Amino acid sequence: MNNLNRILAAIFALILSTEADIPVSCYFEDVAGTWKFQESGYSTKGPATCENAIMDFSRQNIIQLLYPNVALDKFGNRGKWTLIYNQGFEVIVNNRKYFAFFKWIKRDNKFISICGKTLPGWQHDILGRHWSCFVGTKLHPSIFQATAATLP
């Protein structure tokens, strides 16, 4: 196992070992459709810090997420996608891998899932060498917004 795979395995283990999930709940029907991914420039320095970064989006990609797990980019390249629990997704297409959590907002004492937008996420080539940040926006979002959690 190379160093990148070890780092990614450790990150996912930490995510899975947390006591609480993020307050979002999105399902296949909310996510399937056409998405615009706005991407920052590539870096070869390993995983980018995307959560709080101010990003200069130099590229964009249009990707269709289809049933049951087919991803098609604007050039016709075919790949795959999957939900990560009900909190995010991973898309692999044209030798690039994208991962992001879905966006949410807190309104009053409730968290509202925004399933047609992502928080800043990460993307890299399938070898894990060229990293960048991205945000995804569904071009035709569903009207439905789920209330994921209510605070006491």
pLDDT in tens, 113-133: 999 999 999 999 999 888 999
User: How do residues 44-84 score in pLDDT, each as one tens digit?
Assistant: 776 668 876 667 788 899 999 999 999 999 999 999 999 99
> Is the pLDDT score of 106 beyond 60?
yes
pLDDT at 43: 78
> Could you tell me the two tokens for 132?
């960048």
User: Token match 């940040």: residue?
Assistant: 133
Q: Which CATH architecture has domain 23-150?
A: Beta Barrel (2.40)
Average per-residue pLDDT for the chain: 83
pLDDT of residue 109 exceeding 50: yes
Q: How far is Cα 41 from Cα 55, in angstroms, rounded to an integer?
A: 9
pLDDT attached to residue 114: 94
CA 119 to chain centre: 7
Q: What is the model's pLDDT at position 49?
A: 80
The pLDDT of 100-118, averaged and rounded, is: 93
